[in-house]
Amino acid sequence: MKIQSLHDRLSGTIAGSLKKKLGRDNVFSLPRISKVTVNVGINKTKMDSKEIHEYVEECIKIITGQKPVFRASRLSISNFKTREGSIVGAMVTLRGKQMMSFLDKLIHVALPRVRDFRGLNTHFDGHGNYSIGIREHTIFPEVPPPEASKVFGFQVTITTTTDSDEEAEVLLREIGVPFRREKPADNS
């Protein structure tokens, strides 16, 4: 039995169920995922060596299939001990088939490997976008187990074409994002 990719399911079964749930006839009016952004914050105190930057770059390249761009600070902020031009993060923007394969891998392989995973919360940003914070990059199986000092976290932001949080939640539920179950109200 052949397993369908997320790209094929979005244009087939998921689009059909979205049309029913949202009450729309036109396929082009349905919400879609426009991009996925992966951000890694680089802490100056723990991750300021060239070796760690290369390790972060290699791991993000393995996880996403795309080389990250290192972002420099635009301002000097004395409270955070950052200087203008110092590297403060790395990011990758995924679109198209790379985005779909990364989401498939994140939802079906990586998130089930999170220790004591009970589901993701349903807090959207008010504009139909959703962010997931991942504490350890080691949940992806293709990354070799690192030393304890090299473990880093990152953020995955899923940007949709809708401005409604409700429509975006319906889309992500249909894709298979494991949201936390709502507890029934206690009427005692």
DSSP sequence for 66-102: S--EEEE-SS-BTTTTB-TT-EEEEEEEE-HHHHHHH
Q: Which residues contact 110 (CB under 8 A, 6 or more apart)?
A: 134, 139, 140, 141
Domain assignment of residue 121, yes or no = yes
Asked, for residue 127, whether it belongs to a domain, the answer is yes
Q: In this predicted model, what pLDDT tens digit does every residue of 66-94 receive, in sequence order? A: 999 988 777 777 666 667 777 778 899 99
d(CA 131, CA 93): 14
Task: Give pTM, 2 decimals.
Answer: 0.84
In a domain, 49, yes or no: yes
How far apart, in whole angstroms, are the C-alpha atoms of residue 175 and residue 99? 13
Is 14 within a domain? no
Of the candidates 81, 88, 95, the one whose C-alpha atom is nearest the C-alpha of residue 56 is 88
* CATH number of the structural domain spanning residue 126: 3.30.1440.10
Coil, strand or helix: which one is 8? helix
**Residue-range definition of the domain harbouring residue 108:** 32-175
Question: Is 26 within the bounds of a domain?
Answer: no
Q: Is residue 120 part of a domain?
A: yes
Assess if residue 105 is contained within a domain.
yes
Q: How far apart are CA 111 and CA 12, in angstroms?
A: 24
Residue 38 falls inside a structural domain: yes
One digit per residue, the tens of pLDDT, for the chain of length 188 reads: 467 777 777 778 888 888 888 888 888 888 888 999 999 888 765 666 778 888 888 989 999 989 999 887 777 776 666 677 777 788 999 998 899 889 988 988 888 888 888 888 888 888 889 999 988 888 888 887 777 777 888 899 999 998 888 888 888 888 888 888 776 655 65
Q: How many domains does the chain have?
A: 1
Q: In sequence order, what are the beta bridge partners of 93?
A: 37
Question: Of the candidates 40, 12, 62, which has an alpha carbon nearest to the alpha carbon of residue 136?
Answer: 40
